[in-house]
Structure 1
């Protein structure tokens, strides 16, 4: 496929070389040589630009991998250090409150994070945030190594990481829109839906790697006989925390290859400028039925799905099946492997006509599968349910992000994304605390009906009272219009 930039440069060079004439002897030749030199320089500049644009998407995916591999490590280590017998060994309510500390800062700072993401240099912001996230992981690793681990230290870790994450999410998620847009300008066939799906695949794959690595904490895991039967681990928890910090430092290095990106200027000044920008973002979400519905859906997911995911599953792992960090690893790896599989399948389709319909069906099937956990089932069947839940989750995450990225005004993208994510993050601490209390009162299995029933009601509301069920994907509509 001929590069659009090179075509433009060729046209400029031909015009310069072919149309320049002069009655003075030698001037035409000199001007022609100058035009040729300009063409050569322009070709070199075009190649440099093309190379920079092409490396941006892989660099962005590596930034995504860095953050989410560290996140995968955290997903196992955080509940393990709180509930594990070799460490704090606390109950479900303590875990729920700690997860609330981990997610609550996003409720406070996520909207401000959206404003900062639009105004700041995105590349520099990602570099700083990765470095800031590495610090608490390294400090916590030092505390575990010296035997000074405490519940207040875990709460402090959660508050710091949650605060950094509030600024990270809108900055990272809004950049993919710009990366895809620049890539399309040089003739790439990557659509926004495909770009979001690739980023989602990178997220899932990196999380799986982090989850697998964290599962070797303080205990040897023996491979099946068909793999040789060898053992891996134990790896001390403090070493894994140090690895988490180092991985985040690598993320800041990958961010160096990103372009600076657009910086929005709203014209507001003074202390009230941020609040004015946030209010404008809320008006944009409220005025669009799709954006408002997706934000409400994410609030429900935060309460019912994430609460069960962060609290109920680790307690089932410990109290019902008697596993430690290795069980948490197997459980979370199974979920994210399902999500990765479904995102790989989605990547085959650059344009999906009914994104909202596919998302809601996946949400309903995933929520319904949780009901099987109410009965005594073998561990392999439990993992099978978790895998099915992951398949549905992968579809839901990719489609919901694509819908919001398409529907949001580009000049308010980071603010809209922060509000959309706020719906998710505001529900998560409520769900974590609620599920932690219900687990201690009724046990982890009986309350499976709560997340399943809650999500079913929200999905029915989405089908009958919002435009999401009947909406058409922007990429599909654009392709259909060309035919």
Structure 2
């Protein structure tokens, strides 16, 4: 499970990311709580803030993927994490001054979204430079494991800290956490990175899209990822509403709901570290069906305890689907296009979030948090079953197999 951690550069990367992603999830929890406190539990306001954070990803992540293919990913990540830390610090100071308004939160969300449009494709494609080609699936799964460890630690810690140091203290801790990521990146040995022999001069967006369009084995998981992320992955809107409006609980219980889901996600992430190759298409589709069913059951959960159990299983299915789709796309891509392919994956998986957040907020205002979860589950199930039909119809047609090995030449 931990083979990639024997590689010094990956170990530094993982430890730094664990600190910074934990801080980020603490920030998200504090931010969502602050928005609800400011607006009297407005789901629409929460949706607007979430949309503001992810709209830049929708608009600019393909450009970010081109930058990741052209530029030094390590330096790009150092700059992006420094910018994120400064944005978190600015919002924390605004809250501490007592002058913070909703537009301050929206402006910070837009800034973080701009940074993420560059940082996410660079980070995802950087993994293939940190380890040998045969360790890329393990390193990618471990990355999901530390991400979901942070999703356990972050919201649970933030829920407890909000009652003692308030949201501003949580935001300050998040700003400080980015120092660990930058320090880890600076401490790496560039000579030990597994870089391709040369970088493309232009790395055009259109060229990357043409490459994906000619790969039918990439198109189906990307299309299913688009639907599931648009409709199903909107828990940053539904979970705070579930805590406040359905179960009538406080910040600590909200943290528990999020942590339960993240705990299930962590178990799935650890299980995927055993993967040693590209997953089959059917693995992706079965995981999508399981996720859709469990989201629906979470919306129907009658008690807080039942909701914790259902959300834990939902988190497990969510990461099982996300990781299998990610690995099928990433490990099927040519290294020369990997930054742009993962940028497209990011665009689909996160760029749809503004629309999903607004749609879920609108739906939750009319049907409640339970209704929003149930509707999303039914739509995801329909999409997964349709993908199964398409996959069965297309079985027997040979799909091209792209090289998955990363060139070992060093710059």
Q: Same fold (TM over 0.5)?
A: yes
Partner of 1:291: 218
Map of 1:398-413 to 2, 5 A cutoff?
398-413=323-338
Choose the corresponding residue for 2:23, options 65, 70, 78: 70
2:9 maps to 1:82: no
Map of 1:146-161 to 2, 5 A cutoff?
146-161=97-112
Map of 1:63-462 to 2, 5 A cutoff?
63-84=16-37, 87-181=38-132, 191-219=135-163, 234-260=164-190, 262=195, 265-268=199-202, 277-307=204-234, 309-351=235-277, 354-375=279-300, 377-462=302-387
Shift of 1:279: 0.2
Given the superposition, is the C-alpha separation of residues 204 and 374 from structure 1 closer, same or farther in structure 2, using an over 3 Å criterion? closer
Distance 1:466 1:150 in 2: 49
Shift of 1:311: 1.3
Shift of 1:259: 4.7
Per-residue CA shift, 1:96-135, capped at 9, x if unaligned?
A: 1111001111011101110111111111111111110001
Distance 2:171 2:297 in 1: 34
Larger radius of gyration: 1
- Give SS of 1:236's match: helix
Distance 2:162 2:390 in 1: 50
- Give SS of 2:7's match: helix
Shift of 1:364: 1.1
Distance 2:88 2:308 in 1: 29
C-alpha contact (below 8 Å) 2:199/2:336 kept by paired residues? no
Shift of 1:161: 0.6
Higher relative contact order (CA 8 A, sep 6+): 2
Distance 2:184 2:13 in 1: 7
Unaligned runs of 5+ in 2: 406-411
Given the superposition, is the C-alpha separation of residues 378 and 267 from structure 1 closer, same or farther in structure 2, using an over 3 Å criterion? closer
Distance 1:73 1:123 in 2: 25
Distance 1:194 1:154 in 2: 37
Partner of 2:409: none
Unaligned runs of 5+ in 1: 1-51, 185-189, 220-233, 269-273, 479-483
Distance 1:94 1:326 in 2: 22
Given the superposition, is the C-alpha separation of residues 207 and 445 from structure 1 closer, same or farther in structure 2, using an over 3 Å criterion? closer
Distance 1:338 1:344 in 2: 10
Distance 2:323 2:112 in 1: 24
Distance 2:256 2:201 in 1: 51
C-alpha contact (below 8 Å) 1:197/1:343 kept by paired residues? yes
Partner of 1:25: none
